[in-house]
Amino acid sequence: MIHGRNKIEQKRGLKGNTELSNVKCSHDYYMNTINSCRQNRLCDSNEELEMKALQALGSVCPVSNIQPMVLPMFDNARLVAGFPLALDTDEQAQDVDILRMLCPNPEASFLIRVKGNSMIDAKIYDGDIIIVDKSNRSPSNHEVAVCELNGEYTIKHVLQKDGRVWLYPANPDYQPIEVKECDDFSVWGVVTYTIHKPRV
């Protein structure tokens, strides 16, 4: 399941195979890619320290390191949650580059596998993959941002109240964090999509 500013909840079959039982999960594809990235040099030396600090959030991989993943999408297929309907396997499928669809700005985007559960009410769970656009440093109140606070990284909502900046979790078990004037704070990027398997 993929969540973004516009939710996308579609099953897509592999090219040349329209059996829904053989659908390849993009979550697994990107999870394997992230694991592969951990074995390789991620960035130039000027960014290595930043990448190491980001590892506190979870595994990190630049989108530019990932090979394209093209799947057929049956744009006109009508799938319902009620009674099953036959899927017309002769229907013309449109090839979709999943990476381009999720990352229109791949050179500035990163995949991060999340650790922790402070954002569960924003549908971001431990082990999920988030796609972060580093070129966007101005999140709205409803967006989730990756923030740097005193050399450490966290995933939170960024809100301004009474002239002060607060980092808000999406979990009542966690307290908001006030960003003080003496703090070294910046927005590293904005979460554009969350990828995870369906949950019951």
For residue 20, the domain's CATH number is 2.10.109.10
Under the banding of pLDDT at 50, 70 and 90, the label for residue 104 is: confident
Under the banding of pLDDT at 50, 70 and 90, the label for residue 56 is: low
Three-state DSSP at 68 gives: coil
Under the banding of pLDDT at 50, 70 and 90, the label for residue 22 is: very low
Whether 182 is covered by a domain: the verdict is yes
**Number of domain units in the chain:** 1
Mean pLDDT over 37-57 rounds to: 55
Whether 15 is covered by a domain: the verdict is yes
- What's residue 120's pLDDT? 96
- What's residue 150's pLDDT? 95
Whether 31 is covered by a domain: the verdict is yes
Whether 8 is covered by a domain: the verdict is yes
Under the banding of pLDDT at 50, 70 and 90, the label for residue 62 is: confident
- What's residue 40's pLDDT? 47
2-10: list long-range contacts, CB under 8 Å, 24+ apart: 2/26, 2/102, 2/193, 2/194, 2/195, 3/123, 3/193, 3/194, 3/195, 3/196, 4/102, 4/192, 4/193, 4/194, 5/192, 10/73, 10/79
Whether 200 is covered by a domain: the verdict is no
Residues 3 and 199: their CA atoms lie apart, in Å, by 13
Q: Does position 18 have pLDDT exceeding 60, yes or no?
A: no
Compute CA 190 distance to the chain's CA centroid, rounded to the nearest angstrom.
10
CA-CA distances (angstroms) from residue 63 to 88, 110, 132, 172? 34, 5, 9, 32
Tens digit of each residue's pLDDT (9 = 90 or more) over 63-83: 877 777 788 877 655 666 666
Mean pLDDT over 47-52 rounds to: 62
Tens digit of each residue's pLDDT (9 = 90 or more) over 111-157: 999 999 999 999 999 999 999 999 999 999 999 999 999 999 999 99
Residue range(s) defining the domain that contains residue 112: 2-195
- What's residue 91's pLDDT? 57
Q: Does position 189 have pLDDT exceeding 60, yes or no?
A: yes
Give the percent of the chain with pLDDT over 70.
Answer: 62
Q: Give the residue numbers annotated as catalytic, written as ranges.
A: 118, 156
